[in-house]
Amino acid sequence: MSLRGISAQLTLSAPSKLDITIAQATLQGREWRKLALYCPDARIERDLIECRRGLLDVGEKFPLTFQYRPGARSLALTLFPESTERWQAQLLWRGDNLAASLEVKNGKAARLNPWLPEQSIRFNQGVIDLTGKLEWGVQARGKLDVSATLRNGGFSDAAGTRAGEKLAGTLTLQAVRADTWRWKVSTAWREGEVFWQPFYIAPGERRLSAQGSWQDAQAVVDQAQLEWAGIGTAQLSGAWNRAAGRIEHLQVAAKSLALDPLYRTFMKPWAQDGVLSKLTLSGVADGAITFKQGALEEANLVIRQGGLKHEEKMFGLAGIDASLAWQQNQARENRINVSSGFVGKLPLGAFSVRATLAPDRVSVAPLTLPILDGALTMEGVEAQRENNDWRWSLSAALQPISMQRLSQALQLPAMHGTLSAVIPQVIYARQSLTVGGALLFKVFDGAVVVTDLRATDLLSPTPHGYANIDMRNLDLDLLTRTFSFGNIQGRLDVAVNALELFAWRPVKFDAKVASSPGEYPRKISQRAVENITSLGGAGGTAALQRSFLRFFDQFGYERIGLSCRLERGMCEMAGIEDVPQGYLIVKGGGIPALSVIGYNRRVGWEELLARIQRATQGGKPIVQ
Amino acid sequence: MNKWMNLCFIGMLAFASAALAAADLEINTPAITALKNTMQARHGQLAPHYASGAVGLTRDGNVALRDASSVPLAARQSVNGLVADENRDRAGLYREIARANGHPEWEAEVRSTFAQRWIDKAASGWWVQNAGGAWVRK
Residues facing A64 on adjacent strands = A54, A79
pLDDT, tens digit (0-9, with 9 covering 90-100), for B56-94: 999 999 999 898 888 999 999 889 889 988 998 999 899
- Judged by CB atoms closer than 8 Å, whether chains meet at B80 and A194 is answered as no
Q: Measure CB to CB from residue B73 to each of A163, A198, A460 and give the nearest one.
A: A163
**A contact set with B (CB within 8 A):** 156, 158-161, 163-165, 193-195, 197-200, 202, 269, 272-273, 460-462, 464, 502-503, 505, 507, 568-569, 605
- Decide the pairing of beta strands A48-57 and A30-45: antiparallel
* Exposure letters A434-465 (e unless 16+ CB within 10 A, then b): bbbebbbbbbbebebebebbebebeebbbbbb
| Chain B residues within 8 A of A199 when measuring between CB atoms | 77
Backbone angles phi, psi at B85, to 5 degrees: -65, -40
The share of chain A scoring above pLDDT 70, in percent, equals: 95
Q: Supply the pLDDT for residue B21.
A: 47
The count of C-alpha atoms lying within 13 angstroms of the C-alpha of A403, restricted to the half-sphere facing its C-beta, is 17
Domain locations in chain B? 2-137
Residue A183 has pLDDT above 50, yes or no: yes
Nearest-angstrom CA–CA distance, A326 and A277 = 24
- CB contact under 8 Å between A273 and B84, yes or no, is yes
B29 to chain A nearest CA, in Å? 5
Do A246 and B54 contact (CB within 8 A), yes or no? no
For B101-135, how does the pLDDT look when each residue is reduced to its tens digit (9 = 90+)? 888 899 999 999 999 999 999 999 999 999 999 99
Alpha helices, H only, chain B: 2-17, 30-52, 73-100, 107-121
Beta bridge partners of A501: A465, A506
Cα–Cα distance, A139 to A103 (Å, whole number): 27
The pLDDT of residue A318 is above 50: yes
Determine, for residues A164 and B73 on separate chains, whether the beta-carbon distance falls below 8 Å. Answer: yes
Residue A507 pLDDT exceeds 80: yes
Q: How confident is the model at residue A461 (pLDDT cuts 50, 70, 90)?
A: low
Report the b/e string of B26-59 with b at 16+ CB within 10 A: ebebbbbebbbebbeeebeebbebbebbbbbbbb
Cα A532 to chain centroid, rounded: 47
Distance (Å, whole) CA A528 – CA A488? 7
How many whole angstroms separate alpha carbon A585 and alpha carbon A219? 82
Strands A432-443, A446-456: pairing is antiparallel
Q: How does strand A464-475 pair with strand A446-456?
A: antiparallel
HSE of A278, CA atoms in CB hemisphere, 13 A: 13
Name all contacts of A122-127 with Cβ < 8 Å and 24+ positions apart: A122/A155, A122/A156, A122/A157, A123/A153, A123/A154, A123/A155, A124/A154, A124/A155, A124/A156, A125/A152, A125/A153, A125/A154, A125/A155, A125/A165, A126/A150, A126/A151, A126/A152, A126/A153, A126/A154, A126/A155, A126/A167, A127/A151, A127/A152, A127/A153
Beta bridge partners of A335: A323, A354
Spell out where A137-231 has E strands: 141-156, 162-178, 180-196, 199-201, 206-214, 218-228
Q: Which of A122, A157, A167, A195 to mutate to test the interface with B (most CBs of B within 10 A)?
A: A195
% pLDDT > 90, chain A: 59
The answer, yes or no, to whether residue B12 has pLDDT greater than 70, is no
Q: Which residues of B touch A160 (CB under 8 A)?
A: 54, 65, 67-69, 71, 76
Residue A618 — very low, low, confident or very high, per pLDDT cuts 50/70/90? low
What value does the mean pLDDT take over residues B20-45? 82
Residue A200 identity (one-letter amino acid): Y
Q: Which of A74-88, A388-402, B17-31 has the lowest mean pLDDT?
A: B17-31
Region A271-285: mean pLDDT is 84
Instruction: Give the range with max mean pLDDT: A371-385, A533-547, B5-19.
Output: A371-385
Are the CB atoms for A482 and A499 separated by under 8 Å?
no
Q: What is the pLDDT of residue A325?
A: 95
Q: B30 and A502 in contact by Cβ < 8 A?
A: yes
User: Among A64-68, A226-230, A410-414, B22-26, where is mean pLDDT lowest?
Assistant: B22-26
Cβ A200–B65 below 8 Å, yes or no? no
pLDDT band at A270 (very low <50, low <70, confident <90, very high): confident
Residue B132: Cβ-neighbour burial (10 angstroms; 0-12, 13-18, 19+) = exposed
Q: How confident is the model at residue A75 (pLDDT cuts 50, 70, 90)?
A: very high
CA distances from A530 to A326, A358, A623 (A): 63, 62, 9
Q: Which of A467, A474, A485 is nearest to A442 (CA)?
A: A474
Please check the confidence at residue A396 and state whether its pLDDT lies above 80: yes
The alpha-carbon gap from A540 to the nearest alpha carbon of chain B, in Å, equals: 31
As a whole number, mean pLDDT of residues A62-84 equals 94
Is the CB of residue A252 less than 8 Å from the CB of residue A236?
yes
Rounded to an integer, the average pLDDT of A316-333 is 95
Confidence label for B6 from pLDDT (cuts 50, 70 and 90): low
pLDDT value of position A82: 93
Residue type, B111: R
Q: Find the closest chain A residue to B76 by CA distance.
A: A195
The pTM (predicted TM-score) of the whole model is: 0.76
Q: How does residue A620 score in pLDDT terms, banded at 50, 70 and 90?
A: very low
Residue B10 has pLDDT above 80, yes or no: no
pLDDT band at B18 (very low <50, low <70, confident <90, very high): very low
Tell me the average pLDDT of chain A. Answer: 88
- Asked if pLDDT for residue A549 goes beyond 50, the answer is yes
Interface residues on B facing A, Cβ-Cβ cutoff 8 A: 28-31, 33-35, 54, 65-69, 71, 73-74, 76-77, 80-81, 84-85, 88-89, 92
| pLDDT of B32 | 86
Which DSSP state fits A593?
Answer: B
**Closest-CA residue in chain B for A502?**
B31
Contact (Cβ atoms closer than 8 angstroms) between residue B105 and residue A292: no
Please state the separation of Cα A8 from the chain's center in Å.
63
Residues B32 and B96: their CA atoms lie apart, in Å, by 6
Considering only the beta carbons, identify the residue of A161, A165, A199 that sits closest to B68.
A161
| Residue A77, H or E segment | strand A74-79
Instruction: Report the alpha-carbon angle A404-A409-A414, nearest 5.
Output: 35
- Cβ contacts of residue A559 below 8 Å, gap of 6+? A514, A515, A576, A586, A587, A589
Q: What is the pLDDT of residue B30?
A: 74
Band (pLDDT 50/70/90 cuts) for residue A388 is confident
- At residue A544 the predicted structure's pLDDT band, cuts being 50, 70 and 90, is low
pLDDT of residue A289: 96
Average pLDDT (A435-457) is 87
Render pLDDT for A155-177 as a digit per residue (tens, 0 to 9). Answer: 999 888 899 999 999 999 999 99
DSSP character string of B62-90: -EEE--GGGS-HHHHHHHHHHHHHHHHHH
Evaluate if residue A476 carries a pLDDT over 50. yes
**What is each CA distance from A84 to A79, A559, A576, in whole angstroms?**
11, 97, 94
Count the neighbouring beta carbons within 10 Å of the beta carbon of residue B126: 21
ipTM of the complex: 0.72
